[in-house]
Each structure stands twice: as structure tokens, then as C-alpha cells.
Amino acid sequence: MSRRPPLIFSAFNEFVLSHHDHGAWRHPESRQTEFTTSAYWIDLARLLERGRFDVLFFADVLAPYDIYRGSRDSAIATGMQSPVYDPAVIIPILAHETEHLGFALTENILQEPPYTFARKMSTLDQLTGGRVAWNIVTSFLPGAGRNLGHHGLPSHEERYGRAEDYVNAVYGLWERSWEDDAVVVDRERGIYADPAKVHEIDHVGPYYTVYGPHLTAPTPQRTPFLFNAAASGTGIDFAGRHAEVLFTSGDARTAAAGVQRLRASAVSFGRRAGDVKILGGLGMVLGSTEEEARRLDAELREWQSLESILVKFSGFWADDLGRYPVDSPVGAILAAPDTGIVTRQALGAVADPSITFEAAMRGIANQHVVGTPEQIADEIDAWQDAGVDGLNLQYLVAPGTYEDFVDHVRPLLVERGTMRREYSPGTLREKLTGSPYLPIEHPARRHRATPSTSQENAS
């Protein structure tokens, strides 16, 4: 078997009790109830670095799910992404305990002004030694909009208009405000930085006005590594302009078309196809034999909560799934005139419309791979054959999913070449792209500071 090029591996998490495990925090081998302790996250970060993962990815939400049965009570009762803590605070702790692992922070463009957000990300980039990424999102929960000073969630078009204005403001702060050699640290003259090489950005956009200068000096990456997920046409256009890593949906057999569409979007905005790294999503249940893997999967599903599943997908699909009888056949729900648009699309993909709504939802929530280490490795090869550059590994039991992967799947991937044996040096961007800064084709680069003549005597 010829050796394959290494993929990017990200560990998909959130600073919450329950995420993709759908209530399986009750599993006897789960440590998820320790999620409020730094020790839990330190152990996970060390495990991921031992396994040569590239990124610990933190998803985030800014409101409890409240569409299911018109209330946030079920989300709070089951712990489905509630309570949720701030991942920005834990990242410096984890960076101190690791040397190479990158950290991706999700923050939506409604969350805080671009001026203070730029400072926060620059601070994280400095403290991590250039190992931080920003997952750019526009929010999908109406409650988040209400909690952030809006009357509900702004329209889809407005959110992406805001996002475009927002990124241009922070690009100016990160790339243009301070020249590379602005910091001089001249002890003899008592000058730390040359004010002639620090500039206002004078950004005046349709939504944000930011004059600057940026509050921090240039950091290892300047602009943090940029993640994004996109589904709509507007979202794919935004991602094509800005993202360095993009997530694609589906499975290894259906992902190729989506991968091609995402790369084509980048090319349409003057970027190179290879400037965008595309990650698929993978969950797994591992056994030493197929029989053991199926048994462990059945046990896992017993610990999952149907209520948690319905809470999460009600939020994802903007439809109260509590209004559909769980024992109703899928076909009957599809035939009903008031079935939600996204719900109809998702259930329409169910192969057997005679199964119950409960069975369908449990199946949708458990689209993970069940098998031996060799079968998991083969699945990863299939993803690579579909054109992805990496995978976002979702835990089903934490941290057991990652322990199984590192101890049993990783050795096979290293042998095949699909996973790197050792880290390469440098920042997160250097590790994943080979370059310390964004490529010249990226829109942020047009903001890059140009050298100026220093004042003879700065004061």
C-alpha cells in the first residue's frame, strides 16, 4: 500500500456537559461531569498532543436551546449545551500545558465589538505562541440575538453583511495597525515602540466604525488561523473569501461534491484551491472485533437521551420537534402540511419511512462509524479519497473516544502516512499551511502595514 499524505486532525468539543454525546455523560466511563474543572481539560489537551492532534476545537452557543416545547427547561435539565462556559478563558491554561496543540475558538460576530475582540484574539495568539484559531460564525439561535442587544436574530442577509464588515475591521487592526518593526525595546533611549509605525485604521463600514490603533503589538500569526462552516449560498461565498479551514457535511461517500463546491468558491474569489483546508466530521465506536464494537455501540445508545437529541435538533432545524409524536411513522410526519422545512429535508433522507420518528431521530443523531481499528482507518482513507484535508473527531464518550483513537487507530494511520508521526515546528498556520502568514490572495493581506519612516526621536 502506498503511503498517503497526512491529514489534519481536530478534536471537536465544547465547554459544556453534553454535546455530540446526546446525554451519554451518564455513561459509567464518561468524565464529562468534570468539565467544569481545569484538570479535565488539561488531561484532554495532553492526550490530544500525545496523539499528535493539530487542534482542540471549541464550539460555542450564547443561549440555551429553547425551541423544543417552547422552553429552555429541557436543555437545562438534560445538560444539552447548557450550562456553557467561555472557552477563551481555558485556552491559555491548556497552552501552558502543551507545546504544539492548536486551539480553535468559536465566537460570533454579534458577541462583542471588533475592537475588543481583536485585542482578545491577539492576546490569545501571543500567550499560545501563535497556536490560536477563530471559528467565524454568525449565530443561529434567536435567543443569542436577544441576549446580545438585538430584537431576536438579525436576518440571514444582515448577519453576513455584518460579518463582512466585522472581518474587515479586525483585519485592519491585526494586519495594518502595527508595522512589523514597530516594537524596538530601546532601553538606552527609553523607547518601547516607535509611534510612527503604529497607525489608526480609520475603518468606517455599514455596521462598524473602528479608528484604532490596535491595542496590541503584532503577534506570532497577526491574524489568527481562520475556521468557518458554511451551508447557504451566502455562507459559502463568505467562506470562499475568508476561511482557511472549512467544514463539510455528509459522509465519506457523499462528501466529494461538497468539497469541490467549497474549493470552487475560494477559486472564484481569486484564491488558490489549496488555500482552503476542508475537514469532514467523524464519530466512532471502536471494538477489537466487529461484534464487540456493535455491542459497545448498543450500550452507548442506551445511555443517550432522546430528549437531548430533540432539544439539539429543534435548535439546529428551527422547528419544535416536540410537536411530533415519537411513535408516529416518518411517512406520516412527511405527509403533514405543517412539518418544518429542514425537518422535512432531514426526514426525507431516511431510507425507511415506516420507522418511527424516535428511531429516525436516534439514527440521525448517531451517524458514526462502528468497527475495528482497521475499519476506522479505512473509513478515514475513504474521507481522504473524497478530497478532504482532515477530520473533526467528535467524542461519544469523553475522553474515551479520543483515548481509543490515539491508542488503537493512530498507529495504523501513522503506518499508512495518513497521520503525522511528529509535529512540525512553528505556529498553527505554519503547521497546517507551511506559511507563517496569510497568503497574498487572502483579502486580509490588502490591509497589511507598509513600512514608514520612523521619527528620529519618538516620545
Q: Which CATH class is domain 8-289+370-445?
A: alpha beta
Determine whether the annotation assigns residue 106 to a binding site: yes
CA distances from 204 to 209, 210, 222 (A): 4, 7, 21
Residue 193 pairs in a beta bridge with: 183
Q: Is 60 annotated as a binding residue?
A: yes
156 is in an annotated binding site: yes
Residues contacting residue 27 through CB under 8 Å, at least 6 positions apart: 21, 300, 303, 397
Q: From residue 285, give the alpha-carbon distance in Å to each of 86, 274, 298, 386, 411.
A: 29, 32, 10, 22, 17
Residues 6+ apart with CB under 8 A from 37: none
Q: What is the pLDDT of residue 141?
A: 87
The pLDDT of residue 370 is above 60:
yes
- Assigned C-alpha cell, 352: 425507511
Q: How do beta strands 225-229 and 132-137 pair?
A: parallel
* pLDDT score, position 131: 99
Long-range contacts of 34-43 (CB under 8 A, 24+ apart): 36/85, 38/90, 38/93, 41/90, 41/93, 41/94, 42/93, 42/94, 42/97, 43/399
Write the CB contacts of 201 (distance below 8 Å, at least 6 apart in sequence). Answer: 169, 172, 173, 176, 177, 210, 211, 212, 213, 214, 447
Q: Of 295, 156, 151, nearest to 236 (Cα)?
A: 156
Cα gap 352→18, rounded to integer Å: 29
Beta bridge partners of 139: none
Question: 423: annotated binding-site residue?
Answer: no
pLDDT at 458 over 60: no
In whole angstroms, give the CA distance from residue 213 to residue 175: 11
Q: Was 43 annotated as part of a binding site?
A: no
Percent of the chain scoring above 70 in pLDDT: 97
Distance CA 185, CA 187 (A): 6
Residue pair 429/134 in contact by the 8 Å Cβ criterion: no
Partner residues linked to 394 by β-bridges: 12, 283
pTM for the full predicted model: 0.95
Is the pLDDT score of 59 beyond 80?
yes
pLDDT in tens, 242-290: 999 999 988 999 999 999 999 999 999 999 999 999 999 999 999 999 9
Peptide bond into 213 cis (omega under 30): yes
Confidence of residue 3 (pLDDT cuts 50, 70, 90): confident
Q: What is the structure's pLDDT at 413?
A: 98
- For 417-429, write each residue's pLDDT tens digit: 999 999 999 999 9
pLDDT-derived band at 153 (thresholds 50, 70, 90) equals confident
3-state secondary structure of 248: coil
Per-residue model confidence as pLDDT tens digits over 84-125 = 999 999 999 999 999 999 999 999 999 999 999 999 999 999
Beta carbons of 314 and 322 less than 8 angstroms apart: yes
- 105 DSSP β-pair partners: 58, 134
Predicted local distance difference test score (pLDDT) of residue 74: 98
Domain ranges of the chain: 8-289+370-445, 305-365
* HSE (side-chain half, CA atoms, 13 Å) at 303: 17
